[in-house]
Every structure is written in structure tokens, then in C-alpha cells.
Amino acid sequence: MPKTALSKRAQNTPPSPIRKLAPLAINAGKAGIHVYKLNIGQPDIESPREYFEGLRLFEEKVIAYEESQGNERLCRAWSKYINRTLNIDTRPEQFIITVGASEALVFTFMTCCDPGDEIIVFDPTYANYLGFAAIAGINLVPVLCRMEDNFALPVRSRIADKISDRTRAVLLCTPNNPTGTVCSKEELRILFDLCEERNLFLIVDETYREFVYDDFEPISALNLEPKSDRIIVIDSLSKRFSLCGARIGCLLTPNEEVLASALKIAQARLAAPTMSQFASAYMLENIKDDFLERVTNEFRARRNKLYAALKEIPGVIAHKPQGAFYTVVQLPVEDADAFATYMLDKFSYDGKTTFIAPAAGFYMQGSQGLQQARIAYVLNKNDIGEAIAVMAKGLESYSRR
Amino acid sequence: MPKTALSKRAQNTPPSPIRKLAPLAINAGKAGIHVYKLNIGQPDIESPREYFEGLRLFEEKVIAYEESQGNERLCRAWSKYINRTLNIDTRPEQFIITVGASEALVFTFMTCCDPGDEIIVFDPTYANYLGFAAIAGINLVPVLCRMEDNFALPVRSRIADKISDRTRAVLLCTPNNPTGTVCSKEELRILFDLCEERNLFLIVDETYREFVYDDFEPISALNLEPKSDRIIVIDSLSKRFSLCGARIGCLLTPNEEVLASALKIAQARLAAPTMSQFASAYMLENIKDDFLERVTNEFRARRNKLYAALKEIPGVIAHKPQGAFYTVVQLPVEDADAFATYMLDKFSYDGKTTFIAPAAGFYMQGSQGLQQARIAYVLNKNDIGEAIAVMAKGLESYSRR
């Protein structure tokens, strides 16, 4: 009997570039080596006590399904939070609560695109967008952002060149994962105008919205055009409130047709987790603004520490990220994947090593980023200093092999 | 500027037949009418205290991402639970923890099928399977089960007739939603042998496994062939432990290739909710067998009450469901959808009405089930008695319009 074959799409789905080296890190840990994990966007910031308080206040005896659109109180609280912090005027009915930003992106891709349709993305790209595209059967078309431009948005004509008959949307992540680059209001306006002219959706992943440094202020695409049918905002509590494991995201749009269609898909999967929504609603209703100020200050300080440390390493080219908690750096190696593997598999200094994510997996254009790595500054300043010092030792040792 | 069009698949995704009458029920409630909800599979059974205890024992300060494959302790606990209750020998590595059975089914469809491929299902069908098929871009091919046969599995040749070059799997839900019919070990064997002969996957949704009455014992497809590469079991804590809102399901298979492929898709969506997995692991480790005995006894008593009450109503044709907590009945009306609407929109008796799910939405073959409704016996015996009495009054009143 021949083996039952798997689907081609299953075979073609790329493994996560962030997670594939994880087994080597586990082995290093088992061998007694301390591994500084700069590879994933899992901050060490304590989740807000208001979230835990909210959980304790849940009094139902039955953990029943929540509404497919999401807990009403959470939609109201999230809408109020956004209106207050961004000075806009969203309504609770414009939200669909999802299992993280991930699910909001899948719903959006499915709602906007038929199989074979295209969405324009910026390269390097958050690697999971490729997974969502595989799930939705659509094609992502990359426009390259260059390290020498600090990964800023390319000029309009370079984006317009990629628009085809099948293009349905432009997807932007700002502040950006993996580069840490922030899109200015003027750049967003150019992108919106292009979408308006070419009749495309503008999908903006604002998961890291509040984490902006230097002269930037948090903005949403909805600040440009609060009533635009064209704008779909993807949001999440994961990073902002250090609640990655709560799995609470949302899709937010003034477009009622998009909401109605996404809701039909949402109904098939029933609902997002009940208690997590209840606790998130309580948290958003009760959390003080100083929580995010404190966290943003902390990430800014880490960013400064990381950037200063990277600049000291011979041959490393670093740009100063303006937001989120990532950066992409160029290393003085031919193959950053091999170097990242070496760090976990062969190297330690003083019983320690550093886990970085090779950047090639974030680039859709194959030959790009081979010498680059994504570094997530999710550890405290001291640990970041140590981790980069260990990486510098690793680079020395690697060059002498 | 033309409006940005939505995808065809968004337009083609059917709205949930279970949820579409919900606004009428809300209106009836607002008008002061008590609505007996027999329309959805949301039991009123209290969630186990061990789940809430588990939540309170969570001591991490950061609610971090869980592993994409699932919490290790939960995989171990679930495997032990299954091994103990079914006397088989699963291993924790054979599990992927998902956001409810819903996500496990989407992963399975994507792993087994390319767009346009076919899966054979039995009609009437759990309506959300159609939504998952729309998400995965595959075609479900229905084989009709007849009320006059108590919705039993059709003879082998009628199933085999539907197998085409594009068929990749047979999907069975037993105990069945929406019919309450249970597949015997012998019937399962026939189905497995057919899959073996025609090189198909056998996907079995065992969400209601323990809820079997009369002479049935809980079994899994893995009881037939514990090591078969062909069997994919879909499971969930939602119904068994009255944890619908916890959103914890799993995909379980001895097939390592399926697991590896499904894991790649699972990595794109990061992970299932962290605290819910932690609490579920604690619950499975600590819950006593008498919880499920008690719940099964309760549903059996409700089933008996419901069946007895339905048989008393002139013109109603009821079969005695052997499992789960649903049944499909034939009503003495031309259009059960219109009758269900009438009950919510126009009728009340003594300030009460009954909410049932028209069965047509569960049938893929359009003309079937127009006179039928699905009734979920998720209320206590008293309320079921009342609800069916009110429905009987409604039928009388409806026939006199």
C-alpha cells in the first residue's frame, strides 16, 4: 500500500526561521550553557497585574463560548483605549476579536483575496506573513527595503511598479518587525494615496504601535482617514501588554462589508478564548497610562544599549531602530545562518552563548540578508550587554576557525 | 472611486445556520420572553473545579507564548487520559494542541488536501465543516445518512461511489453532531478498510467520544489500528469538560509526516492560549473519572426526557440518539426554518418560547432536511420538558395560522 501523500501546500509551507534553531538551543541549555535568547519577540516584561486581577474576577461557573465577533465589553474597552490614546473615534462594532494578530491577518487575507491574488509587502518581512499567505493560498509580492536606507519605505514608484491586476492590498507593519523601522505620517499618507489611486486595501499591522522612540509619536493608519473603507488595522495585546500567551488580537476597520465577511469566517471557528477576553477587557478598563510609558522607556533604554554595543563590534553594520524591539544587523560573516548555528552548537564564552535569528528567513528575495540577523531586544540592559559581548567573542572565534 | 471588492470566497462562505437566528432570540429576550435555547451545543454543565484550580496555580509573571506544538505537560496529560480511558498507547509527541477542534480540523484539511481536493463527509454535517472547507479551499462531498435509518452510516458501496481522483480523506464525526448517532466498532472498521483500500486518510472527530448511551462504550478510531498512518483523530475538551470557551483541542495521529506538516502551519499562528493549556493540563492530571460518569448520566437522562416528550407530539418523527447531546427531528411543517423563525418572532406561550436550529443548514444537499430541526439537549430535564411543551404549543399555533 503506497503511503498517503500530504498536500503540496503542506510541503511548501516554510518552517519558522525563528524557531528552527530552537533544538540546538535546548541542547546547549542541557549542556549547562546559558543561552541569551535574542531570537524571538517574547519580552521579559511582567504582564500587567490588572490582567491577573481580571482573571480572578471571572465568576461564571461555565466557561462558555464567547460571541464570534468578540466579547462586547472587550470591544468597547479596546475602542475606548484607541480613541483615548490616538484621539480618533472608532466604535466597538468595528472590532472583531481574534486569536492574536495572527488570526486577524488570516481573516483579512481571506476576506480581501481569492487564491492566487496578491498582496504587496515590504522585504524583510515578518516571517509568519508567509505562513498566513500559504494558509490563504495568496501570493505576497515583496518590495525591498534597504539597510543603507535604515529600511525606510521605498519611494512610491518602486511600490507602484509591483502592482498588478491581481494586487488587492498593501500590507505594512509599523513599527516594523523585523527591522524596528517606523513609518512617518507622511510616508503612511503616500502609501494611502497610492492605495486610493489604485483601489487597494491598506492593511497595517500596528502590533507595536506604542513602542516608538526619539521624535516619533504613536499613530494609527486610522489617524489619516478615520472613516476610510480602505483601511484595515491589525492589532494585538501580545507585545504592548506583554501578553503573548493570552492570544488576544483584533481586526479593526470602518469597512462594514469587510467586517461582515470576516465575521462569517470567524463564526466557523466559533470564538476566541473566553476568560482571556474577560481579563483583557478588565485590564484595558483599569490599566494606567504609566504602564506603557514605563515599558516604552525600558525598550528605549535597551535599544540605546544594544545599538551602542553593536557599533563597537568590528565589521558589524547596525542601524538605529526607531521602534518595536527588533533590529536587523549586518554581521562580518558570509552566512549568518551558519554563524547563528555555530554560536549554539560549537561556541560558548564563560559558559554563555547568544541565540540570534538569521535574517535570510525574513527575506522573500532569496539572496538578500544572508549576512544579516534579527536581534530582539527583549532582555534587560545588563543581559543585552552581556549577550552582545558574548556574540562579539563568538564573531572573533568564528573568523579564526 | 469604485469600492474595493471583497474576495469571492468571503462572499461564498455560508453564514452559520446555528447563529443566524440569534438576533431574533435577542429581540424576544428584550421583549421579556424567556427563550429556551436548544439551538447551540453550549451545555449548562459547570466546568470542572480542577480547571479553575489549575488557573489559580499559574505562577508565571509573564504570560509568554507556549510552544507551537502545545504545552508539553498538557500533551502528556491528554495522552495519559486517552490511554487510560481507551486502553491504547498514544504518545505525547503524537499530539498538537490547537485552538479548539476547529483549528485542528483546519490544520488537518490543509495538511491532507490541496485546493480543489475532496473530503467525503456524511450528510447532515456539522455546519462548521463547510466553513473550514471554505478556508482551506477544498470540496466536501456528502454521502446522505437517512433519518429512517437513524442516520446510520450508509452501506460501503454508497460511500465508495463518491470516491474520485481528488478524494484525499473520509471525515466522520462520532458520536455525531448534529444527529446524535454513534458509529459502532464494526462500522468504523468498514470505513477504515475502505480508506486502506483506496489509500485515503480517515479523519475522525471524537469531540463527543464519552457521551454514548445504551449499549455503547466510548471508542476511538485508534482502538482499531493504534499505529495506523492513516488515522487522524480530532479531539477537544470543549464538550467533554464543559470548557467550550477555553478553546483547547488537539490533533492526534501516529503519522509523523502529518504531525511535522501540521506543525509548520501551527508555527505560523504561534501557539494556543498559555494559561488555558496550563489549567487544562492540571485538570486532566487531577480530575476524577466520576466527573464524566456524572455528566454522561445527566445527558442520558436528558436524552430520555427529550425523546419521550418528542414522541408525544403529533406529526413529529424522532429517532433515539445514542450519543452526543443532539438529535435531528422531523417536524409537521413544510419549512422548519420558517417555523423556527415563527417561534422567536411571533410566538410565546406563558411568556416562553423555544429556539431550535433549522436542519437545512446542516445538509449539504439543498433539498434535504427542510422539515427537520436540530435540537441540542443542553438544558436540564425540567427545562427540556418545558421547552418541548412550548414547542408543541407552537406547532399547534403555527398549523392554525
- For B357-374, write each residue's pLDDT tens digit: 999 989 998 778 999 999
Instruction: Give residue B134's pLDDT.
Output: 87
Q: Best of A267, A295, A298, A362 to disrupt the B interface by mutation (most B CBs within 10 Å)?
A: A267
Residue type, A346: K
**Chain mean position to CA B268:** 25
Digit-coded pLDDT (tens) for B191-209: 999 999 999 999 999 999 9
Assign residue A339 a region (left: φ > 0; alpha: ψ between -120 and 50; beta: otherwise): alpha
Angle, vertex CA B286, rays to CA B283 and CA B291, nearest 5: 80
- The 3-state DSSP class for residue A185 equals helix
Cell of B124: 447532515
Which residues of B fall within a CB distance of 8 Å from A262?
A: 10
Which residues of A fall within a CB distance of 8 Å from B276?
A: 273, 275-276
A26 Cβ neighbours under 8 A, 6+ residues apart = none
CATH of region A49-287, choose from 3.40.640.10, 1.10.8.420, 3.60.10.10, 3.30.420.40:
3.40.640.10
Q: Using 70 as the pLDDT threshold, list the residues of chain A that sit under it.
A: 1-2, 17
Q: Torsion angle, CA of A193/A199/A203/A209, rounded to 10 degrees?
A: 20
Across the interface, of B9, B66, B99, the residue whose CB is closest to A114 is B9
- C-alpha–C-alpha distance, residues B203 and B192, integer Å: 10
- C-alpha–C-alpha distance, residues B333 and B314, integer Å: 11
- C-alpha–C-alpha distance, residues B130 and B361, integer Å: 10
Residue of A nearest to B126 (CA): A268
Q: Where in chain B is the domain with CATH 3.40.640.10?
A: 49-286
Cell of B83: 490511554
Distances A276 to A78, A91, A256, A288 between C-alpha atoms, Å = 14, 21, 26, 19
In angstroms, the separation between the Cα of residue B264 and the nearest Cα of chain A is 5
Cβ pair A273:B137 closer than 8 A: no
Q: Given the DSSP bridges, would you call strands B139-144 and B118-123 parallel, antiparallel or unpaired?
A: parallel
Cβ pair A270:B244 closer than 8 A: yes
pTM of the model: 0.95
Residue type, B190: I
Mean pLDDT, to the nearest integer, of B229-252? 97
Instruction: Give residue B2's pLDDT.
Output: 57
The dihedrals phi and psi of B107, each to the nearest 5 degrees, come to: -60, -40
| A278 in reach of chain B (CB within 8 A) | no
DSSP string, B165-184: TTEEEEEEESS-TTT-----
B158 pLDDT band (50/70/90 cuts)?
very high
Which residues of A fall within a CB distance of 8 Å from B64?
A: 42, 244-245
Among B47, B38, B117, residue whose Cα is nearest residue B373:
B38
| A163 in reach of chain B (CB within 8 A) | no
Cβ pair B99:A99 closer than 8 A: yes
In angstroms, the separation between the Cα of residue A317 and the nearest Cα of chain B is 29
Q: Please classify residue A165 by burial: count the beta carbons closer than 10 Å to its beta carbon, then call 0-12 exposed, 13-18 middle and 19+ buried.
A: exposed
What is the dotted CATH code of the domain comprising B8-46+291-399?
A: 3.90.1150.10
Q: Where in chain A is the domain with CATH 3.90.1150.10?
A: 8-46+291-399
Instruction: Give residue A2's pLDDT.
Output: 57
Q: Best of A1, A3, A6, A21 to disrupt the B interface by mutation (most B CBs within 10 Å)?
A: A6
ipTM of the complex: 0.93
pLDDT surpasses 70 at B83: yes
The dihedrals phi and psi of B160, each to the nearest 5 degrees, come to: -60, -35
Fold of B49-286: Aspartate Aminotransferase; domain 2 (3.40.640)
Instruction: Give residue B181's pLDDT.
Output: 97
Residue of A nearest to B114 (CA): A7
Mean pLDDT, to the nearest integer, of B163-176? 98
Between residues A248 and B269, the one the model is more confident about? A248
Cβ pair A131:B102 closer than 8 A: no
Cβ pair A9:B106 closer than 8 A: no
- C-alpha–C-alpha distance, residues B178 and B200, integer Å: 24
Across the interface, of B14, B19, B199, the residue whose CB is closest to A2 is B199
A165 Cβ neighbours under 8 A, 6+ residues apart = none
HSE at residue A59, side-chain half, CA atoms within 13 A, is 1
* Strand partners of residue A372: A330
Q: Which pairs from A140-143 meet CB under 8 Å and 24+ separation?
A: A140/A171, A140/A364, A141/A167, A142/A363, A142/A364, A142/A365
State the sign of the Cα–Cα–Cα–Cα dihedral A379, A383, A387, A388.
positive
Which residues of A fall within a CB distance of 8 Å from B1?
A: 196, 199
| A26 in reach of chain B (CB within 8 A) | no
Q: Where in chain A is the domain with CATH 3.40.640.10?
A: 49-287
Look over chain B and give the mean of its residue pLDDT values, rounded to a whole number: 95
Cβ pair A268:B1 closer than 8 A: no
pLDDT surpasses 80 at B4: no
Across the interface, of A44, A200, A261, the residue whose CB is closest to B62 is A44
- C-alpha–C-alpha distance, residues B114 and B103, integer Å: 17
| A276 in reach of chain B (CB within 8 A) | yes
Cβ pair A264:B99 closer than 8 A: no
Among B76, B58, B46, B67, residue whose Cα is nearest residue B279:
B58
Mean pLDDT, to the nearest integer, of B3-8? 82
Instruction: Give residue B334's pLDDT.
Output: 96
Over the range A363-373, which residues count as b (16 or more CB within 10 Å of their CB) and which as e? Answer: bbeeebbbbbb
